[in-house]
Structure 1
């Protein structure tokens, strides 16, 4: 089976009018599930520019031209909101972000095959190509992966490529869902999907943009300046619709926050800031933010990031817990990163009962309980042939 075709599917239908889209979506409202993908451009803009949406039902697949003149995507929005139709995506966070921006809501109900594959033991962030090869009996041709999807007309090869992203996904979903059902892991996947359907995860908050820069400083005045500058950059990049780095790179933002220039001349001395930028309207707007932040009272300054208190974890215990993590991951065929992160392992080693995901839900059942038992000396790690096992210790 090739990347661009499935023998049980007709040729993809290119939709360029609202009437065709409405008719297609009406038919799909009767489906048990549909598979969805998008192609978009973001290299030159802050907001993703939606170019096409690929949707497949049981017996038909359509390529929706989101840039077609006069097309209204409202019928697609209604399909995405239909609670009776499961929406299946692969690594769909960016696709979901686009739908939230376009329609104001996360598609519901939702199933992400990449997340489900991690639960099913296919490794960390398994790619679509690997899943198609393992579950969909297909091969992936990535020759159109970097197409400019904003150029019209779309070529037949582009349309075939785009369609295959959702036709093969149907087989992947069905076989993956069956495997999860056999192994009793459907509840595990549902728990993971909960984070994916939170609308707040897809809305950028300018006031928290500075946290992404992970400043390593206890200087509250500097942190206040960085917070204000990052928020200004976020809003300005949104307003003129350009990527953040094209406005100011992260390192430039940090330098300006540290030097807090008072004049255009001083601002222009920052690395990556041109004289024209500093002396223009954008530079003036930035200087006004700097001046206002400089005048903030001490009580309005942010607290520095909290440094973890208490004793440092034992390196030996951390190493043991990582061995246990690898063993439980192998035994249950689930991606290690899904069970516990390195930070969680360190907290587990240092604290008696940390509030971490590894000690809640299905993760506690698979890994957390064994980790607590290992810490308490109730079990030890041993080797049985080529595998690591838990050995009970008589107390």
Structure 2
């Protein structure tokens, strides 16, 4: 069990890892009471050594860890990396690269639709994870021996999981597939919260441009304010309150105070004043600057029988390839494919090889699905003469 609590210890631990082929990384954080995730513990394992790094230790400087995470020569291995990477992106203003996500790799290797770390550790590393510390308060100090042991197990077994999955990928020639799948995780936009776009995830009760302008300004104010004072956006102002305010467009503090559950303290305080200023900005916008709702999703005319055939083919091809069907194509993609759309991810790269090309052939009548016993298979269709 190794817990690092000083900058000197951290620098000494990270220095040899700069020459490692890969490191396994995990984090423990809290964000129930904050807007930004609060890093409490970072776990790092090299090929031989591992340590838990106390990010809340008095006086510790995490610069050596940041430098290691930014090192382009060292592969960073995570499991379900999205939230961990957000923490490092916010710290470093860059995404740690290169990356390898074992959850994605597990889907490529046929270990299920969304294999958990525990299931992979059990299956590939022959390890049993003690889950009793999973929901512990990682911000409290001192950390117990059980907490540290649990935290370290998230990276020590991850080393073995990575090596086993990498071997499977190399054996099957699918290692390049992972590079394709890392594109979203490598994109800094994945981790940016843009206040000006916050309104788009809400569902207003109307669609008038003026209402949408008020919603946009109010949602942007909530997002910027929650970021600034570091509290969850819903704790500052709930979605339903934001929608009600946008719908009624209050003109005075008194009218704002009538919003259900808002309270006079909010309406008459600095929050109410700033929110009313945001509403006034929206009210004064010229007609030409008013936002409009995104165009409704195109109504697809996808024949049900074709969609059913594509689902069957996807299941067949995914089983044959030993890859999770959900990773190959989504239900929406199948609908679009059946409706005649062709500019789709499923028709590009490795997905086309596994499923897309056969799917188009099936739709266009060049092959058909047939039963052989209890198994489905594709057979060529002889053109009519």
Kindly state the Cα deviation for residue 126 of structure 1 after the two structures are TM-superposed.
1.3
Alpha-carbon distance in 1 for matches of 2:370, 2:28:
49
Conserved 8 A contact 1:217-1:304: no
Segment drifting more, 96-105 vs 215-224: 215-224
RMSD over aligned Cα atoms: 1.5
SS in 1 for 2:120: helix
Instruction: Tell me, yes or no, if the aligned pair for 2:362 and 2:368 is still in contact at 8 Å.
Output: yes
Among candidates 315, 322, 334, match of residue 304 of structure 2: 315
Shift of 1:167: 0.2
In the other structure, the counterpart of 1:373 is 361
Q: CA offset at residue 272 of structure 1?
A: 3.0
* Residue 306 (structure 1) aligns with: 295
Provide the rounded CA distance (Å) in 1 between the counterparts of 2:64 and 2:220: 35
- Which residue matches 1:95? 84
In structure 1, C-alpha distance between the alignment counterparts of 2:298 and 2:3, rounded to whole Å: 59
Residues in 2 aligned to 1:385 and 1:271: alpha-carbon distance in whole angstroms = 63
**TM-score with structure 1 length normalisation?**
0.93
Question: Is 2:129–2:153's contact at 8 Å kept on the other side of the alignment?
Answer: no
Q: How many residues align?
A: 383
Q: Which residue of 1 aligns with 2:145?
A: 156
- 1:170: how far off? 0.4
Q: Choose from 373, 376, 380 the match for 1:392.
A: 380
Equivalents in 2 of 1:313, 1:339: separation in Å?
A: 19
CA shift digits 1:337-383 (9 cap, x unpaired): 21111221221122342x22111111111111111111111112222
Residues 173-229 of structure 1: per-residue CA shift (max 9 Å, x gap): 000100011111111111001221111211111111122225585432222222222
- The partner residue of 1:341 within 322, 330, 352 is 330
TM-score after normalising by structure 2: 0.96
Mapping of residues 273-284 of structure 1, within 5 Å = 273-284=262-273
Contact 2:217 2:281 in 1 (8 A): no
- Unpaired segments of 5 or more residues in structure 2? none
Report what 2:102 is aligned to: 113
Distance 1:17 1:352, change over 3 A: closer
Whole-Å separation in 2 of the counterparts to 1:119 and 1:383: 26
Greater CA drift, 299-308 or 148-157: 299-308
- 2:41 aligned with 1:52: yes
Distance 2:282 2:199 in 1: 14
> What corresponds to 1:361 in structure 2?
349
In the TM superposition, what is the alpha-carbon distance from 1:310 to its structure 2 partner? 6.3
SS in 2 for 1:143: helix
C-alpha deviation, 1:269, in angstroms: 2.4
Deviation, structure 1 residue 87: 0.8
CA distance in 1, matches of 2:118, 2:256: 48
My pick for the range that moved more, 304-313 or 87-96, is 304-313
Deviation at 1:112, TM superposition (A): 0.7
Deviation, structure 1 residue 119: 1.1
Matching residue of 1:133? 122
Following TM superposition, by how much is the alpha carbon of 1:315 offset from its aligned partner in structure 2, in angstroms? 2.1
Q: Which runs of 5+ in 1 are unaligned?
A: 1-11
CA distance in 1, matches of 2:150, 2:185: 26
